[in-house]
Amino acid sequence: MIFSYLCDMMSHTCVKNHLTRLPEKEPEDREMNHAYLLGLDVGSSSVKASLVDVETGCCVASAFSPEQEAPIKAVKPGWAEQDPRSWWDYAKQSLIQCLKQAGARGEDIKAIGISYQMHGLVCVDRDLQPVRDSIIWCDSRAVPYGERAMQALGKDWCLEHLLNSPGNFTAAKLAWVKENEPDVYRRIYKVMLPGDYIAMRLSGKPATTISGLSEGIMWDFKAEQPAVELLDYYGFDHSLLSETVPTFGIQATVSPQVADELGLKAGTPIGYRAGDQPNNALSLGVLNPGEVAATAGTSGVVYGVLGEVNRDPLSRVNTFAHVNYSADLDRLGVLLCINGTGILNAWMRRNVTPGLSYQEINDLCASVPIGSDGVTVIPFGNGAERVLENRETGCSVHGLDFNRHTRSHLLRASQEGIVFSFAYGLEVMREMGMDISTIHAGKANMMLSPVFRQTLATVSGATIELHDTDGSVGAARGAGIGAGIYKDAQEAFATLQRLSVIEPIEQDREACKCAYERWKALLKKALS
């Protein structure tokens, strides 16, 4: 879905709207000095691009590719792969559409920022070509490799140095390749994350960030260096890791070859990159301890910022370096990830209500009372769930009565099940000492459903603040910070506007609590 960035109408007006294709500018208009920031958001369903006007802070164009959800290859149960080269093709198509919408030229882009799906593994050879498809975030095959590393290195060492179990993250995925595809492994020159791959395609330069290494569980927070002990345990040559560059800063520049291909200016700086959830937090202005951001797309995430080192002893939620982390400033992001979120809602739409829009689905949900008249859905049908200690329960439906219940009950129970999975993880985050009283979110995806957002507010007891922004806009603004176009985040996000506030409904709390307790009892049974 394409989102426009809401500007402050009291102080200035965005005269361009990226939802409408603008007419080509007259030649004399093209002589004016325009400056834009480009944000690329590399997701598993699409790549989205946005252009932000430097002077006004408005998003003037936004586009995504492909129009239908990008394919995910699942050769075996629990596997999920994508061809990294397809991300590059989608990025190019999105950029071309953005430039057409804005009537802009590629040379008007002054900096580029990249947001990307986290935890994926991309392997390239010395010609910087992928040697295999990327093993992406929701692939479960590496769980045993992370568990064995945890046992060998020791739980205490892993939590003290890595802040997490090696789990099912990037390093463990590489260990799977090393053991199961030795011929492929021998060809690997560099390993990287999805955003690193796009930056490399733009610049020809392999590089990564501390934040990126931490999300791959390859950063030692205590030693403040790559996690040498973990790399040695797996038998990885240290040279497989790319050079580390700052999250904000001139990480690389667009190569002459790519400039010719895309119509960009050679030397345009890549000023920022971050995983989609740290970037979403940045997009919502969540940078300091106690601030919390949430998303509910294909997967669902609650992401809170800690100002001191802490971790969950069971690694049900994970701690990574936030975008503003440094050796002198502990800014850590605690990430609760639920794989089975929007993907369940999309599955319901395709298979239960084909032909209906999401708005029509949301209306059907609203026609059913809290608790879905006894129907309960456990939503974990998209691979191993970290919040369940990397267990796979599969998605399941409970309490369905063929004589009483309709598709509306099933739809609402699905949305409630997703909310309850969020609430389950929020309990873990609160155990770590996080005060979750306000949740910042973009008005997008599942947050467009009144039932979803109101149930989340009431069950969690937190106020939800909705903003009109997205990851590609946040990445563009991050590029402005990294390239020195904006002096700081406060200036970069000066036009961020709050659209609405959802408060818990006190009189509904008991009904929500009863439905949640029923859900937890069924989950406990599934895990036993």
CB 272 within 8 A of CB 481: yes
Residue 477 lies in a domain: no
Residues 366 and 512 in one domain: yes
Residue 300 is encoded by which pair of tokens? Answer: 């669902």
Please check whether residue 377 lies inside any domain of the structure: yes
CATH number at residue 128: 3.30.420.40
Chain segment 28-43, per-residue pLDDT in tens: 343 446 899 999 999 9
- Residues β-bridged to residue 132: none
Q: With the C-alpha atoms ordered 51, 252, 168, 516, is the resulting torsion angle positive or negative?
A: negative
Q: 51 in a domain, yes or no? A: no
Q: Over its length of 528 residues, how does the chain's per-residue pLDDT go in tens digits?
A: 333 323 333 333 343 333 333 333 333 343 446 899 999 999 999 999 999 999 999 899 999 999 988 999 999 998 999 999 999 999 999 999 999 999 999 999 999 999 999 999 999 999 999 999 999 998 999 999 999 999 999 999 999 999 999 989 999 999 999 999 999 999 999 999 999 999 999 999 999 999 999 999 999 999 999 999 999 999 999 999 999 999 999 999 999 999 999 999 999 999 999 999 999 999 999 998 888 999 898 889 999 998 887 888 888 999 999 999 988 888 999 999 999 999 999 999 999 999 999 999 999 999 999 999 999 999 999 988 989 988 889 999 999 999 999 999 999 999 999 999 999 999 999 988 888 999 999 988 899 999 999 999 999 999 999 998 889 999 999 999 999 999 999 999 988 889 999 999 999 999 999 999 999 999 999 999
Distance CA 208, CA 216 (A): 11
Q: Are 506 and 428 in a shared domain?
A: yes
**Secondary structure class of 254 (helix, strand, coil):** coil
Question: b/e for 141-171, b at 16 or more Cβ within 10 A?
Answer: bbbebbbebbeebeeeebbebbbbbbbbbbb
DSSP 8-class letter at 161: I
Going along 394-497, which residue ranges are E strands?
396-398, 438-442, 463-467
Q: Please indicate, yes or no, whether residues 297 and 359 belong to a single structural domain of this protein.
A: yes
Q: Is the dihedral of CA 136, 206, 54, 256 positive or negative?
A: negative
Whether residues 238 and 299 fall in one domain: no
Same domain, 180 and 316: no
- Same domain for 393 and 452, yes or no, is yes
**Residue among 374, 349, 350, 344 nearest 362 (CA):** 349
Q: In whole angstroms, give the CA distance from residue 237 to residue 3.
A: 43
At residue 33, the pLDDT reads 66
389 CB-near residues (< 8 Å, 6+ apart)? 314, 315, 316
Distance of CA 213 to the CA centre of its chain: 16
The values of phi and psi at residue 90, to 5°, are: -65, -40
For the chain, the domain total comes to 2
Q: Which residues contact 363 (CB under 8 A, 6 or more apart)?
A: none
String of b and e for 18-42 (b: at least 16 CB within 10 Å)?
beeebeeeeeeeeeeebebbbbbbb
Are 220 and 166 spatial neighbours (Cβ–Cβ below 8 Å)?
Answer: no
Show Cβ contacts of residue 507 under 8 Å, excluding neighbours closer than 6 positions. Answer: none
Residue 123: inside a domain: yes
Residues of the domain holding 174: 119-192+210-244
CA distance readout (Å), 124 to 128, 248, 283: 5, 25, 30
| Segment 428-466, tens digit of pLDDT | 999 888 889 999 999 888 999 999 999 999 999 999 999
Classify residue 333: in a domain, yes or no.
Answer: yes
Does one domain contain both 313 and 418?
yes
Residue range 115-136, pLDDT digits in tens: 999 999 999 999 999 999 999 9
> 3-state class of 248 per DSSP?
strand
For residues 320 and 232, state if they share a domain: no
Whole-structure pTM over 0.75, yes or no? yes
The label of the residue with tokens 């992401």 reads 303
Give domain status of residue 266, yes or no: no
CA angle 179, 181, 185 (to 5 degrees): 90
* Same domain (yes/no): 221, 315: no
Count of all residues that appear for the chain in the document: 528
- For residues 344 and 239, state if they share a domain: no
